[in-house]
Structure 1
Amino acid sequence: MKDKMRRFKQLLPDSETKSILNTATNGILSLTGPDGTPYGVPLSFVYDGGSAIYFHSARNGYKMECIEADSRCSFCVVGQDMIVADEFTSYFRSVIAEGRINVVTEETEIRKGLDLLCEKYSPGVDSTDEINKCLNHVAVLRLDIIRMTGKEAIELVRMREKKKD
């Protein structure tokens, strides 16, 4: 794990970092394969508001093999990416969470993860039947966040500073 973000002026406040996690709908989970090969997979997710991110998955497959071999992971979410062609740049906002990923085994927490996912992606829809239907063939994964940083383009930092003046 890294110590301090090199471009610290671009570091987002914790509240904005969490806001990106609450509103973004997908990200890239980066794992290491059993043979040491890097593996990145796009996933939908839900942030619990504290120190965990939940995913759902098939119970078998390469992603699960990677997690079994090495639970260390990184998860990247891009909350904004506005291309500014005439400036040869992009006004981005992103989050990287690092930690360890675990397969949840306790039914109460499996349901919690699935409930949170359903609330995010199907708000207001009763998900009880759907969760009960898939409970025996879905895996719930929990990323326990060790370090989390949000970053934005320097141009966005400068715009914010101008507004303060």
Structure 2
Amino acid sequence: MPYDNSAVRRQDRLLDEARARELLAGSRFGVLSLVDGDGAYGIPVNYVWDGDDSLYVHCAPDGRKLRCIDRRDRVSFCVVGATEVCPAQFTTAYESIVLDCRARRGLPPGERMRALELLLEKYSPAHKTTGLRYAEASFARTEIVRLDVVAWSGKTKRVH
């Protein structure tokens, strides 16, 4: 999962990789952007990072998101960290990461269940046992999309 800030226009605003990894691991949601015919489709989603090269997103087994992925598997994923509008300075402090990914669906059952476990550990750690029972009961009605990261970069603006 190469972290590459070389294409970031403002080289004075690079987010270091360590902070980018913290954002990726700890953020609650990201925006998944896809191509939809001649247009674009962006949707906020919960996700989990496997700590390696992939993110997982869960959804229903049909819908616009999946139709887009079936047409074109190259997607973008954006996570925004801390932000603060600074009115007196006419700017905004921020930090964000953008990931270029390939979306994969039709994963093997074991990988799908492991992704659901990771999602439960992230979003419902105190209710994991109950969550696993729920995941097993609704497994046939749940799709898991794996986003394999091709490259990613990060940017920040600090305001004093």
**If the length of structure 1 is used for normalisation, what is the TM-score?**
0.88
Work out whether residues 54 and 140 of structure 1, in 8 Å CA contact, stay in contact via their aligned partners in 2: yes
Which residue does 2:111 correspond to in 1?
A: 109
**If the length of structure 2 is used for normalisation, what is the TM-score?**
0.91
Which residue does 2:80 correspond to in 1?
A: 78
Distance 2:38 2:104 in 1: 19
Work out whether residues 51 and 145 of structure 1, in 8 Å CA contact, stay in contact via their aligned partners in 2: yes
Counterpart check, 1:51 vs 2:77: no
Which residue does 2:150 correspond to in 1?
A: 146
Gapped regions of structure 2 (runs ≥ 5): none
Distance 2:29 2:106 in 1: 20
| Structure 1 residue ranges (4+ consecutive) displaced by more than 6 angstroms after TM superposition | none
Instruction: Report SS of the residue matched to 1:124.
Output: helix
Work out whether residues 98 and 146 of structure 1, in 8 Å CA contact, stay in contact via their aligned partners in 2: yes
Which residue does 1:162 correspond to in 2?
A: none
- Which has the bigger relative contact order, CA under 8 A and spacing at least 6? 2
Which residue does 1:163 correspond to in 2?
A: none
- Aligned-residue offset at 1:128: 1.7
Q: Deviations over 1:121-144 (max 9, x none)?
A: 001322220110121110000100
Counterpart check, 1:15 vs 2:11: no
* Percent of residue pairs bearing the same amino acid type: 31
Cα RMSD for the two superposed structures: 1.5
Gapped regions of structure 1 (runs ≥ 5): 160-165
Distance 2:53 2:38 in 1: 27
| Aligned residues between the structures | 154
